[in-house]
């Protein structure tokens, strides 16, 4: 066989070419992605959620890690969509985080009408329905030692306790109920300010939707038979106005 190949070198070159072609053909299909798969090296990404990571707890709540390590950037969270939003703009976000600071998009921090109620000594699993009262909004800085807005998360003792000896933050045992910019209610509890490596500003919180408050009985003074009382309903709240509104009530003529 060796002598034959040496006499006809073109046969040896042809055989080598056939072997190489067969190897390429045999291996070719393995180099192609399966139909429907994303191209290698280009996994799908959501650039809007670069600082949020959600884990579904399977009980209607989520555990969210917020990368709030930047000392100047605010990370906004839209509770209704679970999406990250630009907290520097007055749109969409409900709560925002920067290091240990937390804001809500209501009052002095925005026009979303977001309100927050704090339930001291509560655990998230215990809160099944939002309270009827006790809600507050962000306010301009008052008479205190800092220049930060007075938010429902930071007024009083705030959402955390600070250890002067170890210089560490520990979340307090309390739940915040947030009424979002759509009028939906959510419960929220901080669980950690650090990640497993001890990095500060890696906020971890458990949160989820909660039932709206029970409807309160509304008493309207309609004693006058000539004057109308106007009612305005919005975000689960009914207000009595002196003029204009969604509904109007007056005394029925002849009624006592």
Neighbours of 150 (CB within 10 A): 20
Question: What is residue 219's predicted lDDT score, i.e. its pLDDT?
Answer: 72
Provide the 8-state DSSP code for 46: -
Closest CA to 185 of 110, 128, 120, 119: 128
Closest CA to 51 of 70, 37, 27: 70
State the sign of the Cα–Cα–Cα–Cα dihedral 48, 53, 58, 60: negative
Question: What is residue 221's predicted lDDT score, i.e. its pLDDT?
Answer: 75
- Residue count of the chain, please give it: 256
Question: Rounded distance, CA 93 to CA 48, Å?
Answer: 12
49 contacts 66 by C-beta, under 8 angstroms: no
Question: Rounded distance, CA 177 to CA 170, Å?
Answer: 20
What is the b/e burial string over 19-45, where b = at least 16 CB atoms within 10 angstroms of the residue's CB? eeeeeeeeeeeeeeeeeeeeeeeeeee
Question: What is residue 89's predicted lDDT score, i.e. its pLDDT?
Answer: 87
Threshold 0.85, pTM exceeds: no
In sequence order, the 6+-apart residues with CB closer than 8 A to the CB of 2 are none
Q: To the nearest 10°, the Cα dihedral for 144, 147, 153, 158?
A: -40
pLDDT in tens, the chain (256 residues): 444 444 445 445 544 444 444 443 344 444 343 433 333 333 334 545 899 999 999 999 999 999 999 999 999 999 999 999 999 888 899 999 999 999 999 999 999 999 999 999 999 999 999 999 999 999 987 776 666 788 999 998 999 999 999 999 999 999 999 999 999 999 999 999 999 999 999 999 999 999 999 986 667 777 777 677 666 555 444 555 555 555 555 555 554 5
Question: What is residue 149's predicted lDDT score, i.e. its pLDDT?
Answer: 82
Question: What is residue 230's predicted lDDT score, i.e. its pLDDT?
Answer: 67
Question: Rounded distance, CA 175 to CA 188, Å?
Answer: 6
CA-to-CA separations, 58 to 54, 221, 237, in angstroms, rounded? 12, 47, 31
Backbone angles phi, psi at 23, to 5 degrees: -65, -40
Residue with tokens 């038979």: 225
CA-to-CA separations, 45 to 42, 55, 109, 183, in angstroms, rounded? 9, 17, 30, 30
């Amino acid at each position: 066989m060796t002598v034959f190949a040496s006499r006809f070198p073109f046969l040896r070159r042809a055989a080598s070419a056939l072997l190489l072609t067969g190897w390429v053909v045999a291996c070719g299909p393995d180099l192609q992605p399966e139909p429907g798969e994303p191209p290698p090296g280009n996994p799908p990404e959501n650039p809007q959620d670069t600082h949020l990571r959600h884990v579904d707890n399977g009980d209607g709540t989520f555990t969210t890690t917020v990368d709030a390590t930047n000392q100047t950037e605010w990370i906004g969270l839209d509770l209704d969509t679970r999406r990250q939003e630009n907290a520097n703009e007055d749109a969409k976000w409900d709560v925002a985080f920067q290091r240990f600071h937390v804001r809500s998009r209501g009052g002095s921090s925005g026009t979303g009408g977001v309100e927050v109620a704090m339930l001291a000594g509560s655990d998230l699993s215990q809160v099944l329905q939002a309270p009827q009262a006790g809600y507050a909004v962000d306010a301009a800085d008052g008479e205190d030692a800092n220049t930060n807005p007075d938010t429902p998360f930071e007024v009083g003792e705030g959402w955390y306790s600070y250890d002067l000896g170890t210089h560490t933050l520990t979340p307090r045992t309390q739940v915040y109920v947030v009424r979002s910019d759509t009028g939906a209610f959510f419960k929220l509890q901080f669980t950690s300010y650090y990640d497993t490596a001890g990095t500060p500003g890696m906020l971890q919180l458990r949160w989820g939707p909660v039932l709206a408050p029970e409807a309160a009985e509304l008493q309207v003074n309609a004693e006058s038979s000539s004057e109308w009382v106007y009612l305005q309903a919005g975000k689960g709240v009914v207000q009595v106005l002196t003029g204009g509104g969604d509904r109007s009530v007056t005394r029925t003529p002849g009624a006592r």
